[in-house]
């Protein structure tokens, strides 16, 4: 019988500095065989640094380390490692990357076909074996990275935020595979900023600013929040209710959840003050937010300084039968919807569904093969420049210039959006203050922590105060605290009449949307408010209180078996 009590890897009192920055401050961790150990924390908490030390890619200044009974890097044949950033060869095809890793890991030729078939089936990459890795969608790149990490079954698997950019269906498949691996006795370290992922781990280690704040089974942290979590509801605007709750002294954290507000009280039950409060079960994220001292206070300096737009009922964004073909491949087909002023409209769908393609057509970055669209009353076919001046765009992948400093990026985008002289200086000065970029103006954008990269990207998108914002997975990989900060800004802008079109793989984030369009394999398959989609899911699944993730998966699965769907008849 295998030993399940001796850690496959451990660290005690690990210290690591980068110049004056203390990245790890006496951190302890133990990774047991047959378990998934969660490494959880905000951006720049030290997660990636610890993983790289365990992988033997960098050394610690002090502390005791043991990896499979030796020093880090001693036994690379039994180590699987998936880095946070896509680390494969983009000019090589999917199968060429797998073959390269099979060579590097010494996988016998007789085992390769069976291994490749299994990994390609799991990742749904079998259709794309000849496609260059650089031309895969963000989620597919993550899947290929995981497949390469598993090309030879390891004893220790280090996964640095593998769920970033991956849709809920793919994440469930990923978890199923990882749980199968732990059943074989493999120890898994899963780094994540997503608390729904951490909740599934056997144990979690919570880092912040290089310090270990808490460790233990997720249920132990969750249970500390019993009796302190409530669903608040009022007859008025839910966004106004959220802002009010966040500014109260007896509330530690609050987030929108469909038509209600999820409230974490500092202690006991807070006063209702015009809202009805009903107790709800706590989640790991509630305990996480308490350990970190709570979220933002609901105040958005960006929204306060932003111009207002009329809620005149005219479409702010309109798509009419949008279709995009690349040769014989249809990336988006017959997409139609209207987003009104002062509305958050969500585009949801699995990786490769056609969301980003639709986004690019609406932004004027891709020309539709059929159909047309308008932004702020400007038809992109006939008034492209005017339409683009009326929108701000934040791309799925960090799209600023990594070799330019923060200041240079702000200067460039101010000019690109038509700001000159005093107007440009005032807009940049305001953005620097609001997004706390002052100490990083001379830092190259590519060297910023992820959270500050996202701040800079949003700052550039709103420099000219457009009436429409396109946000393509704006908080992908960002920790819950930073995610809340973003949504405080977004909610504040919507109150000023700004229209926001957003894509996200984070289903709790989709709750902030007023309306959602669900796209699957280039077709729109469902539309409605978050509560509408959850009601549809309840009818499909029989669940009493389905989550947005339940709704997403149920509606996708229903589309798969719908015999009237033209994809099934093809």
Q: What is the pLDDT of residues 545-559, one digit of tens each?
A: 898 999 999 999 998
Query: What CATH code is assigned to 9-218?
Result: 3.40.50.300
Contact 266, 245 (CB under 8 A): no
More confident residue, 142 or 209: 209
pLDDT higher than 50, residue 569 = no
More confident residue, 489 or 121: 489
Confidence (pTM): 0.85
Residue 271's Cβ-count burial label (10 Å; 0-12, 13-18, 19+) is exposed
Question: How high is the pLDDT of residue 93?
Answer: 96
How would you list the strands of the sheet with 378-379, edge to edge?
329-339, 317-326, 370-375, 378-379
Domain spans, the chain: 9-218, 224-299, 400-465
**Which residues neighbour 471 within 8 Å (Cβ) at sequence distance 6 or greater?**
394, 458, 461, 490, 500, 501, 502, 503
Residue 398 has pLDDT above 70, yes or no: no
CA distance 285 to 195: 5
Cβ 459 vs Cβ 431: under 8 Å: yes
Say whether pLDDT at 63 is over 60. yes
Interval 497-530: pLDDT, tens: 999 999 888 888 899 999 999 999 899 999 999 9
Architecture of domain 224-299: 2-Layer Sandwich (3.30)
Helix (H, G, I), strand (E, B) or coil at 74: coil
Is the pLDDT at 366 greater than 80? The verdict is yes
* Residue 122 pLDDT exceeds 90: no
List the one residue out of 174, 501, 505, 120 whose CA is nearest residue 350.
Answer: 505
The CA-CA-CA angle for residues 419, 421, 423, to 5°, reads 55
Please give the structure tokens belonging to residue 137.
Answer: 């969608």
State both tokens at 407: 């200041």
Looking at residue 568, its pLDDT comes to 38
- In the predicted model, what is the mean pLDDT of the chain? 89
Closest CA to 264 of 277, 278, 275, 252: 252
Residue 457 confidence (pLDDT): 92
Least confident piece of the model among 62-71, 229-238, 341-350, 519-528:
229-238
- Give the per-residue pLDDT at 142: 77
């Amino acid at each position: 019988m295998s030993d399940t009590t001796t850690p496959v890897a451990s660290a005690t009192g690990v210290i690591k500095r980068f110049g004056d920055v203390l990245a790890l401050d006496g951190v302890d961790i133990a990774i047991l065989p047959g378990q998934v150990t969660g490494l959880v924390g905000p951006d720049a908490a030290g997660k990636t640094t610890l993983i790289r030390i365990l992988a033997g890619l960098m050394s610690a200044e002090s502390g005791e380390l043991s990896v499979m009974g030796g020093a880090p890097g001693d036994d690379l044949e039994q180590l699987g490692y998936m880095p946070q950033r896509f680390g494969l060869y983009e000019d090589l095809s999917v199968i060429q990357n797998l073959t390269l890793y099979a060579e590097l890991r010494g996988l016998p030729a007789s085992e390769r076909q069976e291994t490749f078939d299994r990994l390609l089936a799991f990742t749904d990459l079998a259709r794309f074996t000849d496609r260059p890795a650089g031309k895969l969608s963000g989620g597919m790149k993550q899947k290929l990275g995981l497949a390469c990490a598993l090309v030879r079954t390891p004893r220790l698997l280090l996964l640095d935020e593998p769920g970033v950019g991956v849709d809920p269906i793919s994440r469930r498949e990923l978890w199923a595979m990882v749980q199968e691996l732990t059943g074989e006795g493999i120890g898994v370290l899963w780094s994540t900023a997503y608390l729904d992922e951490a909740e599934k781990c056997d144990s979690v280690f919570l880092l912040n600013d290089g310090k270990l704040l808490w460790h233990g089974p997720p249920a132990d942290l969750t249970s500390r929040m019993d009796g302190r979590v409530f669903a608040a509801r009022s007859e008025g605007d839910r966004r106004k209710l959220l802002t009010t709750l966040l500014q109260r002294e007896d509330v530690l954290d609050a987030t929108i959840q469909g038509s209600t507000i999820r409230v974490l009280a500092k202690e006991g039950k807070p006063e209702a003050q015009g809202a009805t409060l009903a107790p709800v079960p706590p989640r790991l994220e509630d305990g996480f937010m308490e350990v970190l001292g709570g979220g933002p206070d609901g105040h958005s300096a960006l929204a306060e300084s932003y111009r207002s737009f009329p809620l005149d009922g005219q479409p702010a964004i309109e798509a009419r039968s949008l279709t995009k073909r690349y040769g014989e491949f249809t990336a988006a087909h017959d997409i139609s919807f209207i987003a009104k002023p002062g509305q958050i409209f969500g585009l949801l769908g699995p990786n490769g569904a056609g969301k980003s393609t639709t986004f690019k057509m609406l932004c004027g970055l891709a020309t539709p093969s059929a159909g047309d669209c308008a932004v702020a009353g400007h038809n992109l076919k006939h008034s492209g420049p005017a339409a683009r001046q009326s929108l701000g765009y934040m791309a799925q992948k960090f799209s600023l210039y990594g070799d330019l400093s923060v200041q240079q990026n702000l200067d460039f985008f101010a000019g690109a959006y038509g700001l000159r002289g005093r107007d440009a200086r005032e807009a940049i000065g305001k953005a620097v203050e609001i997004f706390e970029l002052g100490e990083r103006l001379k830092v190259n954008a590519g060297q910023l922590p992820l959270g500050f990269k996202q701040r800079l990207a949003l700052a550039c998108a709103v420099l000219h105060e457009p009436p429409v914002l396109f946000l393509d997975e704006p908080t992908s990989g960002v920790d819950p605290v930073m995610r809340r900060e973003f949504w405080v800004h977004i909610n504040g802008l919507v109150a000023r009449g700004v229209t926001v079109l957003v894509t996200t793989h984070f289903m709790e984030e989709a709750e902030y949307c007023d309306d959602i369009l669900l796209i699957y394999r280039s077709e729109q398959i469902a539309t409605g408010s978050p509560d509408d989609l959850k009601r549809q899911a309840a009818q499909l699944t029989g669940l009493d209180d389905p989550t947005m993730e339940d709704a997403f998966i149920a509606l996708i699965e229903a589309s798969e078996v719908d015999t009237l769907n033209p994809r099934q008849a093809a």
